[in-house]
Amino acid sequence: MAASHHFIRAHKIHFSECDPAGIVFYPQYFVLFNDLVETWIDALLPEGYHGVIGARRIGMPTVHLEADFSAVSRMGDRVTLSLDVARLGGKSLTLAWACTGDDGIVRMAATQTIVTTSLDTHRSVEIPDDLREAIEAAMRG
C-alpha cells in the first residue's frame, strides 16, 4: 500500500535534548520519534498506544532503523516532526520520519520497520484488525 498518511506535530527543541555542543544529541531523535509513534497510535485508537501495549500485550518493537542526519537542531529551534506510512504489511509496518526546521531544512530523516509481537511469546503476530483498519482509513484520508 503506497504512503499517503502524513501525521505531524510541532516541537521546540529542549535543553534536555542537547549535548554540550548545544545541538540535539542524536539518540534524542529516536526518543522524539518514539513519542510521535505513541501519539499517532493514541490518535488512531480509542485506548491508544498504552491499550495496545498494556491491556492487549501487543508489542511494537523496531526491527530495522535507518537514519540520515543532514543538519543540526539547536536548543530553542522550532521543528516539525512528521511520520508517514511507507508500507503496511501483515505483521509489520514501515514508517518514514522527518524532523524539519521552520526554515524548511530537513535536519534528520529515517525509516523504521516495526513488527507487531505477542508480549507473552515475543513472536510476531498479525497487526490487530482495528489498528490496521485505522491506519488504512488514515492512509485513505
Over 50: is that where the pLDDT of 1 sits? no
User: What is the mean pLDDT of the segment spanning 72-77?
Assistant: 97
> Using 50, 70 and 90 to split pLDDT, how confident is the model at 89?
very high
**Res 141: pLDDT:** 80
User: What is the mean pLDDT of the segment spanning 24-39?
Assistant: 97
User: What is the mean pLDDT of the segment spanning 34-53?
Assistant: 96
Over 50: is that where the pLDDT of 51 sits? yes
Percentage of the chain modeled with pLDDT above 70: 96
pTM: 0.92
User: What is the mean pLDDT of the segment spanning 16-29?
Assistant: 96
| 3-state secondary structure (DSSP) of residue 110 | strand
Phi, psi of 119 (to 5 degrees): -75, -10
Q: Which residues contact 2 (CB under 8 A, 6 or more apart)?
A: none
**Res 2: pLDDT:** 47
Give the DSSP H/E element, type plus range, for residue 94. Answer: strand 92-101
User: What is the mean pLDDT of the segment spanning 60-82?
Assistant: 97
Q: How far is CA 55 from CA 35, 76, 119, in A?
A: 19, 37, 11
Angle at 81 between CA 132 and CA 26, to 5 degrees: 110
Would you tell me how many other CB atoms lie within 10 Å of the CB of residue 33?
Answer: 23
- Domains within the chain, CATH numbers bracketed: 7-140 (3.10.129.10)
Percentage of the chain modeled with pLDDT above 90: 94
Cell of residue 66, nine digits: 535507518
* Helix, strand, coil in percent for the chain, rounding step 5: 30, 40, 30
